[in-house]
Amino acid sequence: MNDHLRYLAGRASAGLITRREFVGRAAALGLTATAANLMLSQRVLADGPKKGGTIRIGVQGGSTTDSLDPALAANQVPLLVGRLWGEPLVELKDGGGVEGKVAESFEGSADASVWRFKIRNGITFSNGQSVTAEDAAKSLQRHSNEDAKSGALGIMRSVKNVTTDGDTVVVELDGPNADLPYLMADYHLLIQPGGGMEDPTAAIGTGPYILKEVDMGVRFIAEKNPNYWGDLGNADVIEVIVINDNTARVAALQSGQVDIIDRVPPRTAGLVNRAPNITVSTTAGPGHYVFIAHVNTAPFNNQDVMMALKWGMNRQEMVDKILSGYGSVGNDTPISSAYPYFTEFEQREYDPDKAAFHWKKSGYDQPILLRTSENSFPGAPDAAALFQQSLQAAGIPMEIKREPNDGYWSEVWNSKPFCTSYWGGRPTQDQMFSTAYLSSADWNDTRFNVPRFDELLVSARAELDDVKRTDMYAEMGMILRDQGGLICPMFNDFIDAHTDRVAGWVDGAAGFALMNSYAPMKMWVA
């Protein structure tokens, strides 16, 4: 039987039979579906990647208002496109930790307050220009500039000085931070010629592909960079197609228009996975779907209004009906058990009586306006309707305004005072808090500003005692949970899918969806 299974796995790996056929035949021989899929994945990976061809990926989240400036990347599409043409100093490793990209090595001082990143020798930008330490230093400096409006501005706040020493970038912090390498893996911090000071949208970097066609919010075509220093990238061409509508994106996969998609709707994921030649992959992690309020803007600057909304949220209903079980219940903090210093708090349950108490105490009696769009997260309009219904039981009126998908990330998120949104999460508490909750962060999308929180954030970076550091993050989580504008009902699994036309998917990749947005580069045409 084992020989026959290996024979079938070989045929499936070669594309002579589908994955579905292999799993079915393996089941007839007594092998479970899970074991059969694992066996086939191991065989495909053992056969090694194949070079050439075109991989097409359908992605949600793109807009005509997006930019090629990595500083402004705010959703899945510019994140993934940035991966094609550019690289940061370092990147997350799937097995944990950080590995070099533009920097071939890095080391910190004894107190972790000064970090040195040695630039990889002999690499070039896609325009043929050699990469220097000065390019890298200027790239970091640009993201430290208020005028750049960078999504990495929050994490760059702790950087006191960036200099060069020969082929090495020296990053001097305002205090110790053992997590600094993780922060440098932020997807905004792509290294550009001259730091991108002259033209940040030129899309010239050290990545494995070169952009050849750009139709913002519609389609991108990238061709293999012949001078790329590494071994990333198997296809000759990668085509990124923006498909914001969930039904259309799934249909594009099923019809063969694309090979890979992100954000399979949770309620249909099981059905999609049963379709011939399609595999759905789920990854649990730090991603979360949220309702965010500006706590410096009325009525959300009234803490009783915020507490009324938080007690009026039925989180379990959200997980059951919006995620269809593909996720877990949130507790009004962005930190899940996926984080290294996680502390579990008493779960805030749905309590319409408490919600009504705080609503009356607030003295506010006008309807709350919530803006939403399917572009914020799959099922967001339905989630908004559920929230509206759960608040009704507490006598709290809410109006829902459905915004256009196009322009949501530039016109609504981080602009309007109350809306639906999502976060992919970050690998460490420091990065998540620094990006979105530090009072001075450009992406502080709840306008959260508590001096004690900022103080703890800085202190935790220097704390080498894990117990004390855990306690600091726990206190920060409680402050944010009780005083912040974040209403976090659920942590979502990443649900991606691909056809049997491509191979090389690896479960459990660190970071964001789509294998940390490297799927089209790490996979290959089968």
Picking from 498, 501, 522, 403, the residue whose alpha carbon sits closest to that of residue 58 is 498
Q: 283 pLDDT exceeds 80? A: yes
pLDDT digits (tens, 9 = 90+) for 124-158: 999 999 999 999 999 999 999 999 999 999 999 99
- Are residues 352 and 309 in contact, defined by beta-carbon separation less than 8 angstroms? no
Note the pLDDT of residue 234. 98
Of residues 103 and 285, the one with the higher pLDDT is 103
pLDDT-derived band at 262 (thresholds 50, 70, 90) equals very high
Element (H, E) at 502: strand 502-503
Percent of the chain scored above 70 by pLDDT?
Answer: 92
Q: 6 pLDDT exceeds 90? A: no
Note the pLDDT of residue 20. 66
Q: 380 pLDDT exceeds 80? A: yes
SS3 state of residue 469: helix
Give CA–CA dist 328/491, Å, rounded. 5
Note the pLDDT of residue 509. 83
- Are residues 495 and 269 in contact, defined by beta-carbon separation less than 8 angstroms? yes
- Are residues 137 and 195 in contact, defined by beta-carbon separation less than 8 angstroms? yes
Picking from 253, 249, 251, the residue whose alpha carbon sits closest to that of residue 263 is 249
Q: 209 pLDDT exceeds 80? A: yes
Q: 266 pLDDT exceeds 70? A: yes
Tokens 């929050």: give the residue. 154
Note the pLDDT of residue 106. 97
- Are residues 222 and 212 in contact, defined by beta-carbon separation less than 8 angstroms? yes
Q: 360 pLDDT exceeds 60? A: yes
The alpha carbon of residue 70 and the mean position of all alpha carbons in its chain are separated, in whole angstroms, by 14
Going from the C-alpha of 314 to that of each of 2, 114, 193, 478, 490, the distances in angstroms are 50, 46, 49, 20, 10
pLDDT-derived band at 260 (thresholds 50, 70, 90) equals very high
pLDDT digits (tens, 9 = 90+) for 448-507: 999 999 999 999 998 888 999 999 999 999 999 999 999 999 999 999 999 999 999 988
Q: 363 pLDDT exceeds 70? A: yes
pLDDT digits (tens, 9 = 90+) for 16-72: 566 667 777 766 666 776 666 666 666 666 667 999 999 999 999 999 999 999 999
Q: How many CB atoms lie within 10 A of CB 391?
A: 24
Question: What are the sequence ranges of the domains in the chain?
Answer: 2-47, 54-63+207-275+500-525, 87-196, 288-492
SS3 state of residue 369: strand
Q: 287 pLDDT exceeds 90? A: yes
Q: Which structure tokens are listed for 247?
A: 């039904």
Say if residue 30 is exposed, middle or buried (CB neighbours under 10 Å; 0-12, 13-18, 19+): exposed
Q: Does domain 288-492 have CATH number 3.10.105.10?
A: yes
Note the pLDDT of residue 232. 97
Beta bridge partners of 490: 289, 329
Q: 1 pLDDT exceeds 60? A: no
pLDDT digits (tens, 9 = 90+) for 407-424: 999 999 999 999 999 999
pLDDT digits (tens, 9 = 90+) for 84-119: 999 999 999 987 889 999 999 999 999 999 999 999
Which ranges in 214-350 belong to alpha helices (H)? 246-255, 269-273, 303-311, 315-321
| DSSP codes of every residue in 373-392 | -TTTSTTHHHHHHHHHHHHH
Element (H, E) at 495: strand 494-499
Note the pLDDT of residue 285. 86
Q: What is the 3-state secondary structure (H, E, C) of 34-76?
A: HHHHHHHHHHHHHHCCCCCCEEEEEECCCCCCCCCCHHHCCCH
Average pLDDT over residues 309-331: 96
Give CA–CA dist 141/195, Å, rounded. 8
54-63+207-275+500-525: CATH topology is D-Maltodextrin-Binding Protein; domain 2 (3.40.190)
Give CA–CA dist 509/504, Å, rounded. 12
Tell me how far apart the terminal alpha carbons of the chain are, to the nearest angstrom: 25
Mean pLDDT of the chain: 93
Note the pLDDT of residue 46. 62
Average pLDDT over residues 356-383: 96
Domain 87-196: homologous superfamily in CATH: Dipeptide-binding Protein; Domain 1 (3.90.76.10)
pLDDT-derived band at 443 (thresholds 50, 70, 90) equals very high
Give CA–CA dist 129/118, Å, rounded. 18
pLDDT-derived band at 276 (thresholds 50, 70, 90) equals confident
Q: 14 pLDDT exceeds 60? A: no
pLDDT digits (tens, 9 = 90+) for 491-519: 999 999 999 999 999 888 888 999 999 99
Picking from 183, 212, 190, the residue whose alpha carbon sits closest to that of residue 429 is 183
Domains 54-63+207-275+500-525 and 87-196 share a fold: no
Q: 8 pLDDT exceeds 90? A: no
Give CA–CA dist 191/172, Å, rounded. 18
Q: What is the 3-state secondary structure (H, E, C) of 392-440?
A: HCCCCCEEEEECCCCCHHHHCCCCCCEEEEEECCCCCHHHHHHHHCCCC
Q: Which structure tokens are listed for 114?
A: 């000064």
SS3 state of residue 179: coil
